[in-house]
Amino acid sequence: MTQIVETSLKKLTRRDMLKISLAATALAGCSRLRDSTRIVQGNSPATIPTALILPAISNNSGAATADNLTADPLSWLAVNRLTFGPRTGDVARVQTMGVDAFIDEQLGLDDSADKSNPVLNERLAKLDVPKASPAEIRAKYDAKRGEVFQQMQTAAILRAVYSQRQLYELIVDFWSNHFNIYIAKGNGFVLKPTDDREVIRKHALGKFRDLLGASAHSPAMLFYLDNQANRKGKPDENYARELLELHTLGVDGGYSEKDVVELARALTGWSISGIDSDQPGEFQFRAQQHDDSEKNVMGVKLPAKGGLKDVETILDMLADHPNTMKYICGKIAKRFISDSPPASVVQKGVAAWGASKGDLKAVFGAILHSDEFKQSAGQKLKRPFEFIAGACRSLGADVNVGRLMLEYFRQMGQPLFFWQPPNGYPDVKGAWFESSSLLARWNFGLQLANGSLPGNTVDITKLMPTGVGRISDDLIDSLSLRLLGSPLPAATKATLKPFANDKQVNILTALLLASPLYQVRG
Amino acid sequence: MLQSQLKINLPSWMPRFAFAPQGQAPRGDVLVCVFQRGAMDGLNALVPVGDSNYYRNRSKLAIAQPKTGDSKSAIALDNFFGLHPALKGLKPIWDAGQLAPIHACGSPDPTRSHFDAMQYMEAGAPGNKSLGTGWLGRHLMTLNNGNTSPLRAVGMGTMLPSSLRGSVSATVMKSIVDFHLKGNAAQAATIQQTLMAMYAAPENGDALLKQSATEIEATVKLLSKVNVASYSPANGAKYPSGDFGTGMMQVAQLIKAEVGLEVACIDIGGWDTHINQGGAEGQMARLLTELGDTLGAFHADLGDKMKSVLVVTMSEFGRRVEENGSGGTDHGHANAMFLLGGGVVGRKVHGAWPGLAKENLDNGDLALTTDYRDVLSEIISKRLSNAKIAEIFPNYTPKPRGVVL
């Protein structure tokens, strides 16, 4: 907005009026946020210094250029990539504070950020599964496991829409895919909620070694990858292989088939307590099933009778291995920067990993603070989760999720926690984007904007600038700025003009949600 | 399995090209894959009525030997095998020489986990969880026959079946009736037109997005020709109600409409009959009725077109030979597959029978004598004109089984 101040004095045009109304909307949004769901907590209050906005109004100095209707590109990129999508005022706020400060702020938020977030907390409080132990889930939901899936998905979506810790929730989704667990495998549904809570959410921005260790002890993971069947003399290599191939080194990470076999032997006896025990579904080391002879994994000798220590030694090695750093930093860059990220930014992540001994805040920070990130506009498409949660945020929807919204995740091909193979939903767009999922996006936009997604409502009239917004061009511009960050070219605007009126503003909104530019993640 | 042995020299996805003229017929058969989720009890579907050990192990659940006039006894196929009476819908197909059952068949992987077994079977790579593509996906990827129809491969359901994962984008639809924009027809048409203009506009620089939108338009247009809402099956065929019957009817519609369909996948679930499986009647009989009557209707409906249509059924594994204490059967190993179509070597039950004597069992289960990949390889090479078997079934050399012409 600073450019507004620099422009010469001119008579107010209709465009100025629109711009002013947008600024006012942003401010109004901020004051609303202060009460309920603003992004920031604690020592960084979510206000836009009025001096940066007001001069344009009080001095009548704003020039009517198209630039005034364009969000600051870098702020737009940051909010689209590092949150599930911009709400009213978010982009202006980031522009004011600066992208780097925003990244640091987001990485610095902890649990307390959502303490005074009544909408989120009230809605999460209605869900008991995310907080429940395996025994509790088994007792209550054995015959209705579908409710467990729904509650887990609902909790994730509510957080994505309402949490102040937007980047954290995106990183949680990243790790949920990296350490993928298919929630519907057999009785695994009683275990996954604990994994989500105690492994993924607990360590998402902690030390990688802690995250890896928690996952290795996670009953949900051990069950999903069959390690409870991995016994002395009857090895099951499933988990051992994925631990190397998917969780740490990557498929070309320099291990051999022999290493897989040796690691599987080290993992014998890493099991879970049975469903008939007092504490079903807890981690259990079964010493009598553990192969206690000597092992050698990638040159690391594990002397006989190492017991539980065998695996810990290997996890230390893997968490600190250059190929692990490279593989995971590559995946982070792929998720946040580009489907084919430059090697230079991966290297920055690796360097931070080495210097910080695997502190994930430092690793994510190095990758996101990079020039490569800042230059990556247009390089990512929104995945279904980002599309759905983002649309809700951008329209200021009141979200309770509901079955139909979950059904749209399925139609778009990425229902949460439902990817069967252990590699997580693919990130590169060509691997998952296809026509039926795009059609589902179009229909989702229509149903959301029409208010026909049960449990979720949108007040479209609130999105319209008052007074001047009723003029069709301005209505298109204001919605384009909100959803696309910039006005549409004249030709496309002309295409949309028939819908730019009071009666069809919901269709206009749906069309913008369905538009190709809206599929781009900043 | 070593990853290096599995590398397929193709990118993880390949761009599709502008559509060739629509409506061209595929070169080979249209393949319809029916997956019976939950592990069908093949021993009660394709009954070894000539094996006394079958009756010894199944005192409650066994299907009686064929007996004229007894609708609860097995339907005789040859001197040794009979069909479950609920599969009476398949008998006319057998009589027409277009049914080829294969017994003691399946995936060699010993897992008894539904999840793993399905994944292995659909990947076309038993024991390998890291492949990321399915056998049908790789078949379509490696067969460049110039067919660019958006309906070249269709998954009837809400999620892409793992077998179709791969470079060629398959269209997933719960119903061909639902594949359009919501709202009344006139408004949907206006909205779609507006969207197509937005996707064609210069500010949309993403080729994949452009292409997906074009595919939606092409698919909607193709389906509008099919007249999906009002369809009367031919030859008096009556499809059972339910997802499977409706889905197969829609597959038949797509085949008749010649929209470029080459591969269709469809599921029928509910086969995990641990408890109260039933014999000639009951839980499993109801499922078999739905399966057999649907396939029978499909076969009748397509009539002459069955010459170039091949249906294959599969299930992740079979069930234990000995019935359990709850009137059901537990997870087993080998199973029965059914092939239907003009190109099968019909009127013959294929596969070597390993026998059900205790010493012939695999951990209490029917032993496997035919790898399912042998069957599928033969279909792919002989009926679908694709010779790239090594890429479709990595690290496996299929044996010829003579199940198709």
**pLDDT in the model for residue B137:** 95
Beta strand extents in B271-352 (DSSP E only)? 309-315, 335-341
Residues A401 and A475 in one domain: yes
CB contact under 8 A, A242 and B12: no
For residue A210, give the H/E element and its range. Answer: helix A208-216
Residues B106 and B247 in one domain: yes
- Read off the amino acid at residue A78: A
**Higher pLDDT, residue A65 or B240:** B240
Q: How far B61 CA lies from chain A's nearest CA (Å)? A: 26
A378, A410, A511 ranked by CB distance to B159: nearest: A410
- Which of A387, A436, A447, A480 is most worth mutating to test chain B (most B CB atoms within 10 A of its CB)? A436
CATH code of the domain in which B128 resides: 3.40.720
**Higher pLDDT, residue B172 or A471:** B172
In-domain check, residue A233: no
**pLDDT in the model for residue A29:** 36
pLDDT at A314 over 60: yes
| A515 lies within 8 A of chain B by CB | yes
CB contact under 8 A, B129 and A442: no
pLDDT at B1 over 60: no
**Interatomic CA distance for residues B341 and A391, integer angstroms:** 48
**Higher pLDDT, residue A186 or A509:** A509
Is the Cβ–Cβ distance between A426 and A432 less than 8 Å? Answer: yes
Last residue of a domain, one of A374, A402, A437: A374
Q: For residue range A201-211, what is the model confidence (pLDDT) as tens digits?
A: 999 999 999 99
Q: What's the complex ipTM?
A: 0.84
The three-class DSSP label of residue B360 is: helix
Is the Cβ–Cβ distance between B380 and B401 less than 8 Å? Answer: no
Residues B190 and B206 in one domain: yes
pLDDT band at residue B52 using 50, 70 and 90 as cut-offs: very high
- What's the mean per-residue pLDDT of chain A? 86
CB contact under 8 A, A511 and B198: yes
Residue A151 in tokens = 């509650």
Q: Can you say whether the dihedral through the CA atoms of A155, A157, A159, A162 is positive or negative?
A: negative
pLDDT at A22 over 70: no
For residue B179, list chain A residues with Cβ-Cβ distance below 8 A. 436, 439
pLDDT band at residue A25 using 50, 70 and 90 as cut-offs: very low
Residues B55 and B190 in one domain: no
CB contact under 8 A, A434 and B170: yes
**pLDDT in the model for residue A275:** 66
For residue B187, list chain A residues with Cβ-Cβ distance below 8 A. 507
pLDDT at A182 over 60: yes
pLDDT band at residue B27 using 50, 70 and 90 as cut-offs: low
Q: For residue range A216-257, what is the model confidence (pLDDT) as tens digits?
A: 999 999 999 889 888 998 888 889 989 999 999 998 899 998
B3, B162, B201 ranked by CB distance to A420: nearest: B162
Q: For residue range A38-48, what is the model confidence (pLDDT) as tens digits?
A: 233 333 333 33
CB contact under 8 A, A413 and B160: yes
Residues A409 and A462 in one domain: yes
Tally of structural domains, chain A: 3
CB contact under 8 A, B119 and A420: yes
Segment A301-311 mean pLDDT: 97
Domain that holds residue B256: 17-176+237-392
Q: For residue range B280-316, what is the model confidence (pLDDT) as tens digits?
A: 999 999 999 999 999 999 999 999 999 999 999 999 9
| A254 lies within 8 A of chain B by CB | no
- Which of A183, A256, A257, A435 is most worth mutating to test chain B (most B CB atoms within 10 A of its CB)? A435
Q: For residue range A466-514, what is the model confidence (pLDDT) as tens digits?
A: 655 457 888 899 899 999 999 999 999 999 999 998 889 999 999 999 9
For residue A378, list chain B residues with Cβ-Cβ distance below 8 A. 205
pLDDT at A57 over 60: no
pLDDT at A136 over 90: yes
Is the Cβ–Cβ distance between B353 and B369 less than 8 Å? Answer: yes
CB contact under 8 A, A428 and B195: no
In this structure, what DSSP letter does residue B76 have?
Answer: E
In this structure, what DSSP letter does residue B240 have?
Answer: P
Residues A399 and A512 in one domain: yes
Choose the weakest-confidence range: A513-517, B95-99, B160-164, B331-335: B160-164
How distant, in Å, are the alpha carbons of A188, B32, B139 from that of B391? 33, 21, 8
pLDDT at B124 over 80: yes
Choose the weakest-confidence range: A86-95, A455-464, B51-60: A455-464
Residue A182 in tokens = 């298919």
| A494 lies within 8 A of chain B by CB | no
Residues B324 and B216 in one domain: no
**pLDDT in the model for residue A470:** 55
Residues A389 and A487 in one domain: yes
Segment B235-256 mean pLDDT: 95
First-residue to last-residue Cα distance in chain B: 33
Residues A365 and A463 in one domain: no
Residues B255 and B223 in one domain: no
Q: How many contacts does A have with B, using Cβ atoms within 8 A?
A: 138
In-domain check, residue B383: yes
| Backbone dihedral region for residue A39 (phi beyond 0: left; psi -120 to 50: alpha; all else: beta) | alpha
Residues B111 and B32 in one domain: yes
Q: How far B250 CA lies from chain A's nearest CA (Å)? A: 17
Residues A333 and A447 in one domain: no
Domain that holds residue A12: 2-108
